Chain A
Amino acid sequence: MNDIGEFTLLVALATAIYGCVAYVMAVRGNRIDLYLSADKTPLIVWGCVMISSICLWKAFLTNDFSLQYVWAYSNIELDTFYKIASFWGGQKGSLLFWTLLLTTYTVVVHFQNRKTNLRVVPYAMAVLLVIITFFLFLINFSTNPFERIPLPPEDGRGLNPLLQNYWMVIHPPTLYLGYVGFTVPFAFAVAALISKNLDDGWIRLTRKWTLISWFFLCMGNLFGASWAYVELGWGGYWAWDPVENAAFMPLLIATAFLHSIMIQEKKDMMKVWNMSLILLTFVMTIFGTFITRSGLIQSVHTFDEATLGYYFLAFLFVILFACIVLIVNRLPLLKSKNQLDSFLSRESSFLFNNLVLLGIAFATFWGTIFPIISEAVRGIKITVGPPFYNQVNVPIGLALLALIGIGPVIAWRRATLSNLKKNFLKPLAAAFVAAVALFPVIPLGSRTENYTYATFVLCVFVMACIIIEFYKGTSSRMGLHEESMLGALATVTWRNKRRYGGYIVHIGVVLIFAGIAGSQAYGTHVEKHLNPGESFKIRGYDIKYEKLVAVEATSVKTRVIAQLQVSRNGSHYWTARPEKEFYKGQNQPVSEVDVLSTIKEDLYMILADFREDESATIKVYVNPMVSWMWTGGWIIAFGTMISMWPDRLEQRRRLERFRREEMLFPSPAQE
């Protein structure tokens, strides 16, 4: 089996190389025979990578410790569930997993588009295959997951207990699906540049891909935050760790891209900008992989092999260089047909939203690489931590929040005073009411507190804008048809999925903003070393430490559990059981926190340390409004689903446009 796995990887590499050469030669030389042969390669490459992956999975499930990778990330006792997830537990497997996803996407793209647009699609396939070739090259010659141990050991080392959490099965694949997905719009953008089909065809062909990738990346980030929250036992969900940043930056740039392509679709503007954005998104995904795998920047997400990062760095520079040359070459063809008219217009609000999103991305990028730069320039390593990101990104984030409210409502082209009044009077009034109502209740003074106040007021403003939009649509429908309010709301949303789906996503984003502001500004925590029977107070909770128990859960796992009674106003509220787990073969215990989550706040308990005399160090956090973020995440998921849902009306429109476009390009573009 292992030989098969190793061999199919080589076959995949050879086929991928042949495929990209054949595609390009077929289109350049107008050779249909070559094209037909090239068109088989995506499926073959996918098949080979799939077989190889199945071989690796089988090795995990059958405890084949002759493979170094299986030995390093699994053992006999490991749950089947985690054996499957161990596939992406380390460097080698995760690259294979990446390639598996990329080839799967490529095959789907292939079947989706092979009968359409013969000018662009072959180039897009070639670009995809070039990227696949790069990964297959790494897997074959640098990090082969089928590397053997000459004398197979009897048992493996096991999966790091920190990774033994159900999020391990969900978070990495989700994030990878997002990361890898952006390869598709990127490939189409490059193909459009090469073939000089520079209308918005490539954008429409890949709109769903962009949305899906954005969705997975967004969910991946949120899942990562939840995982960190429950597993790492530090009471937080986001640490501005380089690897978190690496996943966050492409999300920001992709968000900018998602918005600005609307302007290109509607107004035929911002062509160079969109090209640059999708290029940047893709480059950022590679940069993120480089950070994760080079070990150049200290991070919690460590992989073992340092040299691999430099392949990614080289690849990154090649792509960057090639794309810049391509874009500069095609600049004359990328002229916009329209121009911005007024600052007060939807077009410019989109432009500003793009600038702001890129600003956050750039600040994050700068903070991430600053240690390297300062060491190179000044010879002293200077690091920046969460205070930097908070100080810079919070004000820019507030501007973004305001734009979420303004953007969808403001008039196209040029807003006049009267329609500004019509659109914004009510939301502004709502914000004003909120500002007055919150003023006496909310503590003010410190910078954080003021920012939080501003965030809440802005959240109300944005929500008011969105609710009024929904209300307008619903009431006009109710006026025309005999429908109930809910029925009308549903129909309106269903008839305009892109628009109202987007609004729903915005509602989720507002909740996330509110959750972040609340938990950052009003959280508190206490650390106490206690003997059984002792108690302490935090934010109106009386917490009494009762006892410590050790439980032998399985033959490899011992759990040490602290029991605490929480009461409020004298009555019993909750029994908390934070614990530490000891895994045989691992020299590090894992903290399992206990959280009671309500809409108002999370009560979060950690058993930080304990001693033989049953005294224990307990750390308690009160984190307000954390659950708002998770709710916001689900709302984003729901909204994205709606705007992605296949739309017959939209399809018909697309088909018509497509026919028109085919007529626009009756002959091959001139070389």
Chain B
Amino acid sequence: MKQKQVRFLVGSLLIVGAIGYLITMGISNTSTYFFTVDELLSQKVSYEGSGLKVKGNVVSGSIQRDPNDYLNVSFSIEEKESSLKVAYQGVTPDMFADGREVVVEGTLGKDGVFHANTLLTSCPSKYEAEKEAGKMHPGTLGTDKYKEPGLKKTDALPKTTI
């Protein structure tokens, strides 16, 4: 009886150990450092080449798109003390605009430019406004980024999605 229990204990420990090993390896292979712009640039150690996530606000007027390739975007993000140039290839989120808080994920190049693979905008301002709710009289929030395009309006198309 005793021996059998020991055997099961060992078997279970093996499984638990294997899972633990997978977790440890997973963490060390895939972890990404998360910094704000100031934190990243004040580090003594260089994080060139390793996976990084950086949070900052988009510098006003810094968003530039390649005239030949609309999806090739460059911009800067800043915090109080420093700013960081970011290059990004891809669709920008709906919320992406001057002054917005964004999180970019990618690697820092030797030239000091951050090459982002993903670009995330933080929580919609709607939620931030919510904290003030109750005190603040609600005004209409304008569609501040998108102006309605000068497109000709047609008859309603049948709803095709969902």
Q: Which residues of A contact B (CB under 8 A)?
A: 68, 71-72, 90, 147, 149, 151, 153, 155-157, 160, 165-166, 230, 298, 302, 304, 339-341, 343, 348, 351-352, 355-356, 359, 362-363, 366-367, 370-371, 374, 380-385, 387-389, 391-392, 395-396, 527, 529, 548-553, 558, 560-561, 576-580, 582, 584-595, 608-612, 614-615, 617, 619
Indicate if the CB atoms of A341 and B133 lie closer than 8 Å: no
Indicate if the CB atoms of A558 and B148 lie closer than 8 Å: yes
Indicate if the CB atoms of B153 and A551 lie closer than 8 Å: yes
Using known A-B contacts A527-B91, A579-B161, determine if residue A586 contacts B23 with beta carbons closer than 8 Å: no
Indicate if the CB atoms of A587 and B25 lie closer than 8 Å: no
Using known A-B contacts A355-B16, A552-B153, determine if residue A587 contacts B142 with beta carbons closer than 8 Å: yes
User: A-side binding surface: helix, strand, loop or mixed?
Assistant: mixed
Indicate if the CB atoms of B15 and A359 lie closer than 8 Å: yes
Q: Which of A355, A367, A381, A387 contacts B15 (CB 8 A)?
A: A355
Using known A-B contacts A302-B127, A383-B34, A587-B126, determine if residue A560 contacts B71 with beta carbons closer than 8 Å: no
B44 at the interface (CB under 8 A from A): no
B61 at the interface (CB under 8 A from A): no
The A-contacting residues of B in range 121-162, CB under 8 angstroms, are 123-127, 129-131, 133-134, 137-138, 140-146, 148-157, 160-162
Indicate if the CB atoms of A619 and B148 lie closer than 8 Å: no
The A-contacting residues of B in range 35-81, CB under 8 angstroms, are 35, 53, 69-71
Closest to B90 in A: A527
Indicate if the CB atoms of A384 and B145 lie closer than 8 Å: no
Indicate if the CB atoms of B148 and A582 lie closer than 8 Å: yes
Using known A-B contacts A382-B32, A549-B154, A617-B71, determine if residue A392 contacts B26 with beta carbons closer than 8 Å: yes
Q: How large, as a class, is the contact surface on chain B?
A: 35 or more
Indicate if the CB atoms of B148 and A147 lie closer than 8 Å: no
Using known A-B contacts A304-B127, A359-B19, A587-B145, determine if residue A156 contacts B138 with beta carbons closer than 8 Å: yes
Indicate if the CB atoms of B161 and A577 lie closer than 8 Å: yes
B94 at the interface (CB under 8 A from A): yes
Chain A residues, Cβ within 8 Å of B4: 339-341
Closest to B133 in A: A72
Chain B residues, Cβ within 8 Å of A561: 157
Indicate if the CB atoms of B26 and A363 lie closer than 8 Å: yes
Q: Which of A151, A155, A304, A392 contacts B22 (CB 8 A)?
A: A392
Top 4 A-B pairs ranked by shortest CB distance? A529-B70, A359-B19, A608-B91, A381-B34
Indicate if the CB atoms of B131 and A304 lie closer than 8 Å: yes
Indicate if the CB atoms of B34 and A382 lie closer than 8 Å: yes
Indicate if the CB atoms of A617 and B70 lie closer than 8 Å: yes
A432 to B145, CA, bound (A): 58
A384 to B99, CA, bound (A): 27
Closest to B145 in A: A587
Q: How far is the CB of B16 from chain A (nearest CB, A)?
A: 7
The A-contacting residues of B in range 1-39, CB under 8 angstroms, are 1, 4-5, 7-8, 11-12, 15-16, 19, 22-23, 25-27, 29-35
Closest to B13 in A: A355
- With A339-B5, A527-B71 given, can you name 14 additional A-B contacts, CB distance below 8 Å? A72-B133, A151-B137, A153-B138, A165-B162, A359-B15, A371-B34, A383-B34, A384-B30, A385-B30, A388-B27, A389-B26, A587-B144, A594-B161, A610-B149
Chain A residues, Cβ within 8 Å of B134: 68, 147, 149
